[in-house]
Amino acid sequence: MSQTQTLPTRSYEMPREHYLNSSYGIRSWLLTTDHKRIALLYLVSVTFFFFVGGVFATMIRIHLLTPEGALVSPETYNKLFTMHGVAMIFFFLIPSIPAVLGNFLIPQMIGAKDVAFPRLNLLSWYIYIIGGCFALYSFSTGGLDTGWTFYTPLSSIYSNSAVTPAVLGIFINGFSSILTGLNFIVTIHTMRAPGMTWFRLPLFIWSHYATSLIMVLGTPVVAITLLLAGLERMLHLGFFNPAMGGDPILFQHLFWFYSHPAVYIMVLPAMGVVSEIIPTFARKPIFGYSFVAASSIAIAVIGFLVWAHHLFMTGMSAYSALAFSFLSYLVAIPSAVKVFNWTATLYKGSISWDAPMLYALGFIGLFTIGGLTGLFLACLGLDMHIHDTYFVIAHFHYIMVGGAVMGYIGGLHYWWPKISGKVYPEALSRFAAITLFLGFNLTFFPQFILGYLGMPRRYHSYPPEFQVLNVLSTAGASILALGYLLPMAYLTWSMRYGKVAGPNPWPATGLEWKTTSPPPTENFPVTPVVDWEPYDFPNRPDLGLTPGTLAPVPGDD
């Protein structure tokens, strides 16, 4: 590995007072209204759920080593994949980037002291914790075996597992998502610093704005849908039960009306992260700013119109299947536009090989595969065969893990010097990024082939001809696990032992880099005034980068 091209070679001092040391004690954290501290509360809690979901995933992959199932009973296996999905989707992926990085960065990026409603922000975290406790209660008292999709009448009538607390947990957690989205929308509208016009906003803000729209408009639907399923279970009402005149397919429509856009809640913020990292580490303005920004909004809007592509094989009207297939192809276009623009940004850049860039480029590769295989599933004639097979599993893991989680971890690496004030070990971080990329592909690529060969999803045992590909997948998962554990270890280590980062180590153009690392509680001592265009490296002499001059000197902010 070559030497780093960006990290500071001179030594900096930590600022005397910052948001981490401005007050001490457990109360100062649990009663904080500082968006940065709330972000850290989320960081700890979503990491916990990531770990829980990861343990379930590990057990799933070990179980599938042999055709008859190596580890657990069918009941337990069904609970493992259900709880893996619930923990990962509702309690890790959906809050991860918005609630951690979004909370930490949105006010700083627009030059504000905090979000618009700081106390509401803290309330969101408490609601998330209460919802999470319900989910953990469900996991630990009998578990949950309905699949994370909770299809009726299996979930509402036939399942003997702890469905009710899980459904209530997700219902409660929904309010956390709604309040966070509301807070972001109002913050972005009303709290931008002087000069921070809409088209000077970092693309991270645009993608979070689009995400917040989905959170506010979509979450109420899934909340009420799961509540109806819960009421059917508790009070024997007949919303979805055909024996009482209900319609089980109605549940699927309502569920996916939120849960398809929810995929964009997970991946849009990751796209925002990548749109920040790539200009910074290519030292170049983003290619086609307005196209990247507008495609975020297009994805959010069209994303609301494609939900029934999850129902092509339910016997739905062939005409409506045609409409939804067409709309699903339409939503692929803005995603493609983003990928092309990111790639074009690299052209004639000054590209560094630091860990955040490796994560961002890894994101593009994996998201491209995930997005392209979405075209296969949107294709009606192919969905006849690959619907509900491992092809689907591979596809959405490429989007949600290869895309969203790569973006999240890449973002953590990019802003870690800002969050902690410290720098992590470079060589180790690059090694972890490459491990993650290789392990991910080895885990999930074989599943595309398994799916086309006809292996259905959610199988605790399978015909012996599928074993080789399953063993490959499990082998990949062990590498993948290493790729996740490494950053957890060295990022934690760096908080205490890492080198001091300085205010703008990469350097980058955003407002968040114009304050100290870690920032003071109020973010900026004086409200900044913005008189520059986004990512405009060539016209930013304050970064000390214009060819011919030296790297930034200590204390320069």
Length of the chain equals: 557
The secondary element (H helix, E strand) that includes residue 43 is: helix 35-63
Asked if 499 touches other proteins (CB under 8 A), the answer is no
Q: Out of 1, 243, 526, 553, point to the residue binding other proteins (CB under 8 A).
A: 243
Asked if 447 touches other proteins (CB under 8 A), the answer is no
Distance CA 450, CA 528 (A): 55
Nearer residue to other proteins within complex by CB, 85 or 95: 85
Q: Out of 55, 65, 332, 428, point to the residue binding other proteins (CB under 8 A).
A: 332
Distance CA 401, CA 394 (A): 10
Asked if 542 touches other proteins (CB under 8 A), the answer is no
| CB 231, min distance to other proteins, A | 18
- Mark the segment that binds other proteins (CB under 8 A) among 162-170, 386-394, 418-426, 429-437: 386-394
Distance CA 329, CA 45 (A): 36
Q: Out of 337, 428, 434, 471, point to the residue binding other proteins (CB under 8 A).
A: 337
| CB 6, min distance to other proteins, A | 7
Residues 104-143 that bind other proteins (CB under 8 A): none
| CB 182, min distance to other proteins, A | 33
Distance CA 11, CA 13 (A): 7
Asked if 496 touches other proteins (CB under 8 A), the answer is no
Q: Where are the beta strands (DSSP E) in 116-216?
A: none
* Of 372, 360, 357, 366, residue with least CA distance to 441: 366
Count of residues interacting with other proteins (CB under 8 A): 101
Residues 267-326 that bind other proteins (CB under 8 A): 282-285, 287-291, 312-315, 318, 321-322, 325-326
Asked if 489 touches other proteins (CB under 8 A), the answer is no
Q: What are phi and psi of 387, to 5 degrees?
A: -55, 135
Q: Out of 31, 44, 384, 529, point to the residue binding other proteins (CB under 8 A).
A: 384
What is the torsion angle, in degrees rounded to the nearest 10, for the CA atoms of residue 499, residue 504, residue 507 and residue 513? 140
Structure tokens at 350: 């000054």
Distance CA 245, CA 231 (A): 16
Structure tokens at 248: 């089980």
Residue 256's contacts (CB-CB under 8 Å, 6 or more residues apart) are: 307, 308, 310, 311
Residue 481's contacts (CB-CB under 8 Å, 6 or more residues apart) are: 54, 58, 439
Distance CA 199, CA 285 (A): 13
DSSP state of 97: I
Instruction: Convert residues 363-382 into a mask of x (bound to other proteins by CB under 8 A) and - (unbound).
Output: -xx--xx--xx-xx-xxxxx
* Of 341, 346, 351, 208, residue with least CA distance to 273: 208
Q: Out of 461, 478, 490, 493, point to the residue binding other proteins (CB under 8 A).
A: 461
Asked if 238 touches other proteins (CB under 8 A), the answer is no
Structure tokens at 164: 């009710």
Q: Out of 15, 142, 520, 544, point to the residue binding other proteins (CB under 8 A).
A: 544
- Mark the segment that binds other proteins (CB under 8 A) among 52-60, 70-78, 220-228, 516-524: 70-78
Residues 71-90 that bind other proteins (CB under 8 A): 74-75, 78
Distance CA 167, CA 26 (A): 31
Asked if 231 touches other proteins (CB under 8 A), the answer is no
Instruction: Convert residues 138-177 into a mask of x (bound to other proteins by CB under 8 A) and - (unbound).
Output: -------x-x---x-xx--xxx------------------
Nearer residue to other proteins within complex by CB, 5 or 47: 5
Residues 516-535 that bind other proteins (CB under 8 A): none
Asked if 427 touches other proteins (CB under 8 A), the answer is no
| CB 1, min distance to other proteins, A | 12
Nearer residue to other proteins within complex by CB, 118 or 143: 143
* Of 343, 143, 134, 153, residue with least CA distance to 248: 153
Nearer residue to other proteins within complex by CB, 117 or 376: 376
Range list of H helices, 379-425:
380-386, 390-397, 406-420
Place of tokens 């996916």: 256
Is 53 exposed, middle or buried (CB count within 10 Å of its CB: 0-12, 13-18, 19+)? buried
**R_g (Cα) of the chain, nearest Å:** 23
Residues 388-407 that bind other proteins (CB under 8 A): 388-389
Nearer residue to other proteins within complex by CB, 153 or 174: 153
- Mark the segment that binds other proteins (CB under 8 A) among 33-41, 108-116, 187-195, 343-351: 343-351
Confirm if 341 and 287 have CB atoms less than 8 A apart.
yes
Q: Out of 46, 361, 481, 511, point to the residue binding other proteins (CB under 8 A).
A: 361
SS3 275: helix
The secondary element (H helix, E strand) that includes residue 423 is: strand 422-423
The secondary element (H helix, E strand) that includes residue 422 is: strand 422-423
Nearer residue to other proteins within complex by CB, 376 or 490: 376
Asked if 453 touches other proteins (CB under 8 A), the answer is yes
Nearer residue to other proteins within complex by CB, 41 or 450: 450
Instruction: Convert residues 10-49 into a mask of x (bound to other proteins by CB under 8 A) and - (unbound).
Output: ----------------------------------------
